[in-house]
Amino acid sequence: MSKQDVFFRRRIEAVTACIVLALVLLTVRAVDLQWGQANKLKQLAENQRQRQYTVQAPRGPIVDTDGRILAESIQIPSIAATGRDVPKDRIGVLANALGMPVSGLNKRLEHKGFVWLARQIDPAKARAVAELEIPGIRQETEWKRFNPLGPATGHLLGFVGIDGRGLEGLEYSQNNVLVGQSGRKNLRRDARGHSLPGAYWLKKPKMGDKVALYLDATIQGMAYAALAEGIRTQHAKGGSVVVMRPQDGAVLAMVSWPGFNPNNYRRFKPGQWRNRAVTDVFEPGSVLKPFAVAAALQTDRWKRNSVIFCENGSYRVADYVIHDVHPEGWLDMTGLLARSSNICAAKVALDIGSLKLRNMLESVGFGRRAGIGLSGESPGILLPLERWGPVETATIAFGQGVAITPLQLAAAFSVLANGGTHVSPKLIRGLDVEPSYRVMSEQIARSVMRMLVHAASPEGTGAKAVPAGYRVAGKTGTAQKPGPRGGYAKGKFMAVFAGAVPADAPKLVIAVVVDEPQKSIYGGTVAAPIFRRIAAAALPYLGVPPEFSQQQWQNIPVLAHEKAHMASEGEVPQYYGKSLREVRRMASQGGYQLHVHGSGWVVRQKPVALSRMARGDSLEVWLDE
């Protein structure tokens, strides 16, 4: 065999050996992949086909005293993506369907994992995206908060952010109760990123717990509409109303103005979100006088028929001169409240001393939070006793030098309506509150209530608060607003009315506060009519019959223009706080010709609630967001 043959033979053997070795290695590798690493590779493949993501749980509902929904979570579509799976050449059409710039969409898709593209969008837009069938894009269902009464409950309920957490109002303060437990879902997809059947729950989401309120949605709507109408009539800056059931402290309504729609809260400024009924304090003015009188009656020195000389309108205490709007001579305690004499109230307070007056104010709830489960509640301002000199004692007796909230005012008048027992305000069912306690004797409370009936009569300052057929025990207040640098702001006032109705067996206590009215500054002209509108609508709704027949009422001496207003009230349905859809349905059922102004929820109607209407008559409603 030649050398050349040997060389070729060895080359063939070497190549054969290499091939054999390669086959052996491939076999070893195949065995390793098929058996040795099978589980690992299977897991890697499975990981590429599957994605796990968190699913938000719905928040629990908020309901009123009858179980009517005030806030609930509704399902709404959102668009999400897995960034690495979205084809670059489809981004343009996707941006067009979503109605967003391509540059903004590109920036979001730089994140290769899960990313939200558009949250809580219109269902029509979601359908347009789905029709594109773009790999890596999927539609998710999220929960969005909806408030059926809109602005009427905006300040009280607050709102929820896009992440499902409460940001204002009860949604914020009760977030731990309302928030649900998120779930975890496993999603399968093919090599192109399209979703496949077979998704399953790793952990199902759990809805949050329900929050039940003492609030009555119908009375809430009545109060909101009456306040809005009163503020518009007076071109006022704002205001608040609190309606309470004195026997158990149930808060039946709590409204503020300006209103905002929590369903579209981003359209409003943060200053409009606050609940003025618990956050804003004001000097109450003369509505504080009944408690100075009650403190005096608790001593042996003063009786209901005790008389005070009112100094004919001017009285000096130390270096401070107190004035009355209407100069008075001698008045008894009833006259003090009916004529609202600052000087008489100051004299009474100076006689009984600062300790007794402060104890009374503290006992009815001033100077401390009511603790009804709302964040941001102010305790008000009640000076420590060591800071009460003669001037402070005199001026606090008629509502200057002390600051309270509308809720505190309603709670304080409930003490009088309850026969002298303090019952803590209640908003949330099941929430622990301070036990009730006695503030004054039942005899003193009833005596002050009888005086307040005179204060809300034609002889007093609160005549415009009286609805047809009922008697009111209430008091007006007019107070200057403090200035930013001390003293009082020129031309800026708070108009107040607080009272109980019916006077002999109170079913409602209503506190009305109007901020900076322009047409008039007096509580009897500005706040009292709002009280009347609420009481006139709410009492028949609650089944409280009038104390007097129409004929008896006509024989009771009231102001002529008040009678004209009251006599017209009868049987018109209550539309305040309702949506346009509800109004159309109710008007159709009643056979009324409906005329609509604006959009949103009803804040005004003509004829007013409880007027008489026949089929075919015209009904006008004004709606506002």
Q: What is the pLDDT of residues 109-127, one digit of tens each?
A: 777 777 777 777 777 888 8
Which residue among the candidates 78, 173, 256, 286 is catalytic per the annotation? 286
Identify whether 44 is part of a domain: no
166 or 625, which is more confident? 166
- What CATH number has the domain bearing residue 585? 3.30.10.20
Mark whether 98 and 194 lie in a shared domain: yes
Mark whether 17 and 162 lie in a shared domain: no
Query: Which of 47, 114, 105 minimizes the C-alpha distance to 85?
Result: 114
Mean pLDDT score across all residues of the chain: 84
- What CATH number has the domain bearing residue 435? 3.40.710.10
User: Where among 166, 184, 212 does a domain terminate?
Assistant: 212
| Enclosing domain of residue 26 | 3-36
- Per-residue pLDDT at 44: 64
Mark whether 423 and 470 lie in a shared domain: yes
4 or 503, which is more confident? 503
In what helix (H) or strand (E) does residue 130 lie, and over which residues does it extend? helix 123-132
Mark whether 71 and 127 lie in a shared domain: yes
Mark whether 95 and 244 lie in a shared domain: no
Q: Which of 93-97, 349-353, 573-577, 598-602 has the lowest mean pLDDT?
A: 573-577
Secondary structure letter of residue 500 according to DSSP = E
Mark whether 27 and 94 lie in a shared domain: no
- Per-residue pLDDT at 560: 37
Distances (CA, A) of 104 to 99, 107, 132: 11, 5, 19
Query: Which of 474, 466, 479, 607 minimizes the C-alpha distance to 532?
Result: 466
Judge whether 286 counts as a catalytic residue.
yes
Q: How many domains does the chain have?
A: 4
Mark whether 620 and 507 lie in a shared domain: no
User: Where among 180, 212, 244 does a domain terminate?
Assistant: 212
Report the Cα 573 to chain-centroid distance in Å: 25
Mark whether 252 and 262 lie in a shared domain: yes
d(CA 257, CA 241): 9
Q: How confident is the model over 560-593, as pLDDT tens digits?
A: 333 433 333 335 666 766 677 777 777 877 778 8
- What CATH number has the domain bearing residue 202? 3.90.1310.10
Distances (CA, A) of 4 to 12, 14, 18: 13, 15, 21
Identify whether 497 is part of a domain: yes
Mark whether 76 and 115 lie in a shared domain: yes
Identify whether 46 is part of a domain: no
User: Where among 212, 242, 268 does a domain terminate?
Assistant: 212
Mark whether 387 and 484 lie in a shared domain: yes
Q: How confident is the model over 275-292, as pLDDT tens digits?
A: 999 999 999 999 999 999
Angle, vertex CA 356, rays to CA 354 and CA 360, nearest 5:
115
Mark whether 280 and 162 lie in a shared domain: no
Secondary structure letter of residue 375 according to DSSP = T
